[in-house]
Amino acid sequence: MELDLSQQIPIPLPCAKRLRTLVLLLGGKWDGRAWESICRDFRHLRVLVLNHFRMKEVPPLIEKLKHLKYLDLSNNKMEALPNSVTNLVNLQVIKLNGCGYLKELPRGINKLINLRHLDIGCAANDDSCKSLEYMPRGIGKLTSLQTLSCFVVAKNRSPKSKMVGGLDELSRLNELRGSLEILVKGYERDSCISEFEGAKLEDKQYLQCLTIKWDIDMDSDIDLYDKMLQSLQPNSSLQELRVRDYRGMRFPSWLSDLSNLVRIRLVGCRRFKHIPPLDGIPSLEELCIEDMDNLEYIDSEGGGGKEVSNFFPSLKKLKIWNCGRLKGWWKKSRGEMEDDSDESTVEEELIMLSFPRLSSLSIGKCPNLTSMPLFPTLDEDLYLWSTSSMPLQQTMKMKPPVYSSSSSSFIRPLSNLKKLDIWTIDDMESLPEVGLQNLSSLQTLVILECPRLKSLPLHGQGMPSLQQLWIYGCRRLKSLSESKSQGMIPYLPSLQELIIMDCSEELSRGCRKESEEVWPNIKHIPNILIDDYYIQKEGRFLKRKKSKASKQIHVAEPRPQAHLSQVVSHSPATTCVSL
């Protein structure tokens, strides 16, 4: 609701003297008089929620709410909480999500002996604690604390050193669970290793997600960075690990000990040329590698000797994004490991080291990535943007192993894939016809700005589930079929939307109704848009009516996991916020 609280709490609320819960969301104006009303009229409050009021200050008189157990001031603009908050000894929950201006927490926070949850957001997700300068000394005495979303390692210890808590404040907080982000803004060169070791993260057995983010300008202490990260060894029960903007060159040795990891996210670790082997982590389901400028190979050890059963046995989602120097998964391809390997042996090795359970794959801005394990089992989506088409081509051409006595158990590659988005692939001239015929579950096919694409041999019988077909900016593409009997565009029985824009004149002209060769194959499609003109819309034939939205169509840089309809937009975007 929208409230104007610039003067007082609206009547009849002040009459409810023994009110226990007050929740005000999406507020309007706010000033101190509203606080006066709350603290005067509602002394028995247990729960107070004041969200989205652009509040810049919390007055000391909040200490009058002595029964308060739950305080939520999320999405406001205050820079600090008054120290009087620490007199609310019954507080169990403090929530400060989305308070991006917050610079400090109250001193004497150790007096809040009943505090269980301190949620100040997370810089890695929403920048909630981006302005927070330090953690108050004594926070480590809150041994009942179960939620501490972020711990900031201060940039400058002086002149506030007496009230600044170091990372070793975490030492006794062994009830922490859920997610913890450690935001490193600075360090003391002589004592940081002992301070980081003093955090004793290995004792935090209930912690599920750990984010370590670095926000430091200095680049000189590479060895020290490596030692700091090594000293932050978490408990082996950890399920998710995120490392962002790390300036070191080596990953810690403890990574291989985290046998229960489900998700790993490595972002902005710009000095890494390779990362440690991760394929042996049995529970790993999601892996994200992003913004790694110097990364050349995922695994420097090579693919030789890898056991099929141990190669990413649980991995379901893989994202590799903005790694411009990445050349391949292994520094040495499997075919190169034995000079006498013949073609069939290499093909078998590729099949053996495909991802056994991968469902979703996103690769973007990796133009030099030409070799990686294959991905025939994808059953959700495949996004390729500004990368090589070779891994896709190799996956599509997979055949049953020659040593197999029967091919009945062999699953046709990509036969369960639902979405395929191909963006700005410069080396792709065609896709194999056999591979396209295997896409029997495909519902959405998007091909955008592939300047060399000449051949796209679609086949109606091989793509019975296709509902959306978008082709944009492929100017050499003259046909969607290589069979004269099917015509320029084959009959695709389930197709609901056909959009072809900025392609060859031959392809555009062939989609008109007067084309006796093509029209019988596409007239069943409810929505057909060709070069800004609707041929059919919602099942009605239009005489080349220009789309009113055609001038608004624009192509933006795609986001990972974004569908083309979110990027090539026909109308202004609408953002929905749920509370």
Alpha-carbon distance of 486 to 481, in angstroms, equals 7
Reduced 3-state DSSP string for 243-309: EECCCCCCCCHHHHHCCCCCEEEEECCCCCCCCCCCCCCCCCCEEEEECCCCCCEEECCCCCCCCHH
- Give the predicted TM-score (pTM) of the model: 0.87
Strand, coil or helix: 93: strand
Strand, coil or helix: 30: strand
Q: What averages of pLDDT result for each successive group of 10 residues across the chain (579 residues)?
A: 51 70 79 83 93 91 96 94 97 95 95 97 70 94 97 79 91 97 90 94 98 83 90 97 93 90 96 88 96 91 60 96 94 53 48 84 96 94 96 90 56 94 96 91 97 90 93 93 76 94 89 77 92 80 56 49 45 30
| DSSP code, position 172 | G
pLDDT of 346 reads 45
* 8 A C-beta contact, residue 349 and residue 334: yes
> Which residues pair with residue 366 across a beta bridge?
387
C-alpha count within 13 angstroms, C-beta hemisphere, residue 540: 4
pLDDT of 558 reads 56
Alpha-carbon distance of 269 to 294, in angstroms, equals 9
Strand, coil or helix: 508: helix
Strand, coil or helix: 223: helix
Residues near 58 by Cβ (< 8 Å), separated by ≥ 6? 35, 73, 78, 81, 82, 85
At 366, which helix (H) or strand (E)? strand 360-366
pLDDT of 315 reads 97
Sheet containing strand 117-119, edge to edge, reads 21-24, 47-50, 70-72, 93-95, 117-119, 147-148
Calculate the CA 258 to chain-centre distance.
21
Residues near 363 by Cβ (< 8 Å), separated by ≥ 6? 319, 320, 321, 369, 383, 384, 385, 387, 391
Alpha-carbon distance of 179 to 146, in angstroms, equals 10
